[in-house]
Amino acid sequence: MTIANKISRILDYLKRPEKTSHFAKERLQIIIAHERGTRDKPDYLAALQKDLLDVIAKYVAIDKEAVKVDLERKDGYSVLELNVTLPEGL
C-alpha cells in the first residue's frame, strides 16, 4: 500500500458523513404544502377535472395543465371554480 493510499484511507475515516436533516426539512415543506392544498377537497374533484379536460380536448387542442378545477367553501355555500386556459391564436 502506498503512503498516499494510506493517507487517503485515514482521511476517509475522519470524514463525517454528509448532513441529511436539511433534505428532510425541504422535502417535508414541499410535500406538506402540496397536501395542505388538496386537503378537505372532495375526491371527485380530480375525476371531474379529467372528464372536463376530455370534453374540451374534443374541440380544442389543450394541454393537460390548462384546466383547473377548484372548490371553495364559504359560510353556507360552495363555489366550484373552473379555469380553462385556451392556447393562443384561437
Partner 1 sequence: MTKIIVITSGKGGVGKTTTSASFAVGLASRGFKTAVIDFDIGLRNLDLIMGCERRVVYDFVNVIRNEANLNQALIRDKHIKDLFILPASQTRDKDALTLEGVSTVLDELSKTFDYVVCDSPAGIERGAQLAMYFADSAIVVTNPEVSSVRDSDRMLGLLSSKTKRAEEGREPLTEHLLLTRYSPKRVARGDMLSLSDVNEILAIPLLGVIPESQAVLRASNSGDPVILDKESDAGQAYLDAVGRFLGEKIPHRFIEEKGNWLKRLLNFKEKETV
Residues that bind partner 1 (CB under 8 A): 14-17, 19-22, 24-25, 27-29, 31-32, 35-36, 39-40
Distance in Å, CB of 16 to partner 1, minimum: 6
Between residues 51 and 70, which has the closer beta carbon with respect to partner 1? 70
Q: How far is the CB of 11 from partner 1 (least distance, A)?
A: 10
**Phi and psi torsions of 43, nearest 5°:** -65, -25
Closer to partner 1 by CB, 45 or 62: give it. 45
CA 59/CA 86 separation, integer angstroms: 11
Nearest-CA neighbor of 46 among 64, 60, 27, 32? 64
Beta carbon of residue 4, minimum distance to partner 1 (angstroms, whole number): 20
Which residues 6+ apart lie within 8 Å of 21 measured at CB? Answer: none
